[in-house]
Amino acid sequence: MILTSPTPIDLNIGAIRQQFPILGRAVKDRPLVYFDNAATTQKPQAVIDTISQYYGNYNANIHRGIHSLAEEATAAYEASRMAVKEFIGAALSEEVIFTRGTTEGINLVACTWGRANIAAGDEILISGMEHHSNIVPWQILCHEKNAILKVIPVLDNGELSMTDYHNLLSPKTKLVAVAQASNALGTVNPVKPMIKAAHQVGAVVLIDGAQSAVHLDIDVQDMDCDFFAFSGHKLYGPTGIGVLFGKKDILESMPVFQGGGEMIKEVTFERTTYNELPYKFEAGTPNIADAIALKTALEFLNDLGKDNIRKHEAALLKYATARLETIPGLTIVGKAREKVGLVSFIIKGVHPQDIGVLLDNQGIAVRTGHHCTQPLMARFGIAGTVRASFAVYNTFEEVDALIAGLWKALKMLS
Ligand code: PLP
């Protein structure tokens, strides 16, 4: 195969890899090749250290304590909220709510904003490439309220049909909920014009940023979305921590989500008054350690520069796509003009899971199956795909290993 491996611009990938202890391990006696980054990224040592420093030095419950440890923990937790505010370009830190992840953020909006604002006959518009976590909460809501779930069709190349989108929008549309980037196809959706069009019919817009926050520059004010949800673990941060951004006036008008400590101002047996934003939506002891470590992950991203990372991942995607296309019977699913760094494919006559197992035997981690997008798989008439998704620490040599691994797998299956 004669294809040059373009070396990325300003990044020293070898040095970056050194920051990820897990990349030094072997799997099945082979060096680990980790291409399951869209499911979760690996964590740099700095993120791991932040968690252990919190538990080793200043573990305390936040906000209510007056002792030093509580003050230190509270300051670090709130500093992380500020870092998130900067990261997504929010106007106010009150608009940043810590959640468990994207799924919880979407469910929060469905359970609070949704229950208060959706009525019988209203329409909720999602897209045909949504992750189950941006389908099921709206289905539950529609069922409860006798509302109607409508779906923007996906074109053969993996882009959304914008003609259909505009036709589906109407004054009945109360909410549009779409992914900025697809976890199964890699498609980047044109969310800014989509949000503008939705606002013109009076709809509120939630953007699922689970796959975009790590790759794209996020500016919620410029985008003008009403809600934006993402997960820390997909951007080099810990699991169990995520963020829901909401515009202040909308968040203020929303009923509370969970009841408990921290979300209250005053409680009597007769009635409760609720805390201000963002605490109103953060009932109970939050995931303090991981919220603090999320800031470290954002610093890791900012230090490398998202633009540099994007260029590297785009080069990996281009290289991988070209090499994959040389494999007989292989079809790439999702050929949108704009994609994040992931490639999904099927091979004629071969079950994706068999490929996954045979690659794993060679130390190569890919994801196989429906990627929590069963309706999208049905749209393409397939049960699932093999997906290789890239992160900043991946190399062109690893792509070569994937291609060699695939050839080997196919030989074994033939
Ligand atoms: N939305 C998209 C597009 C995703 O890719 C994922 C996870 O893969 C989610 C939502 C759910 O994220 P989490 O499981 O972190 O809540």
Q: Which tens digit of pLDDT belongs to each residue from 151-187?
A: 999 999 999 999 999 999 999 999 999 999 999 999 9
Q: pLDDT (tens digit, 9 = 90+) per residue, 138-150?
A: 999 999 999 999 9
Calculate how far, in angstroms, residue 168's C-alpha sits from the geometric centre of ligand 1.
Answer: 25
Q: pLDDT (tens digit, 9 = 90+) per residue, 14-55?
A: 999 999 999 999 999 999 999 999 999 999 999 999 999 999
| Structure tokens belonging to residue 60 | 């305390």
Q: pLDDT (tens digit, 9 = 90+) per residue, 66-78?
A: 999 999 999 999 9
Residues lower than pLDDT 70 in the chain? 1-9
Q: In degrees, to the nearest 5, what angle opens at C-alpha 337 toward C-alphas 335 and 339?
A: 75
Q: On the CB side of 346, how many CA atoms lie within 13 Å of its CA?
A: 17
Best residue among 102, 182, 236, 372 to mutate for probing ligand 1's pocket (most ligand atoms within 8 Å of CB) is 102
Calculate how far, in angstroms, residue 66's C-alpha sits from the geometric centre of ligand 1.
Answer: 37
Q: Which atom of ligand 1 is nearest to the CA of 179?
A: 3
Question: Given this model, what pLDDT does residue 82 score?
Answer: 98
Question: Given this model, what pLDDT does residue 414 score?
Answer: 86
- What residue's CA is closest to ligand 1, atom 8? 39
Q: Which residue has the tokens 């941006």?
A: 134
Q: Which atom of ligand 1 is nearest to the CA of 372?
A: 8
Question: Given this model, what pLDDT does residue 65 score?
Answer: 83
Report yes or no: 265 and 275 within 8 Å, Cβ to Cβ.
yes
What average pLDDT does the chain have?
96
Helices (H), 325-395: 352-360, 374-379
Question: Given this model, what pLDDT does residue 1 score?
Answer: 39
Question: Given this model, what pLDDT does residue 64 score?
Answer: 82
Q: Which atom of ligand 1 is nearest to the CA of 208?
A: 1
Active site residues: 372
Report residues whose beta carbon is within 6 angstroms of any ligand 1 atom: 101-103, 131, 133-134, 179, 183, 208, 210-211, 231
Calculate how far, in angstroms, residue 131's C-alpha sits from the geometric centre of ligand 1.
Answer: 7
Characterize the bridge pairing of strands 227-231 and 364-365. unpaired
Q: pLDDT (tens digit, 9 = 90+) per residue, 204-217?
A: 999 999 999 999 99
Give the chain's domains with CATH numbers: 13-43+305-413 (3.90.1150.10), 48-302 (3.40.640.10)
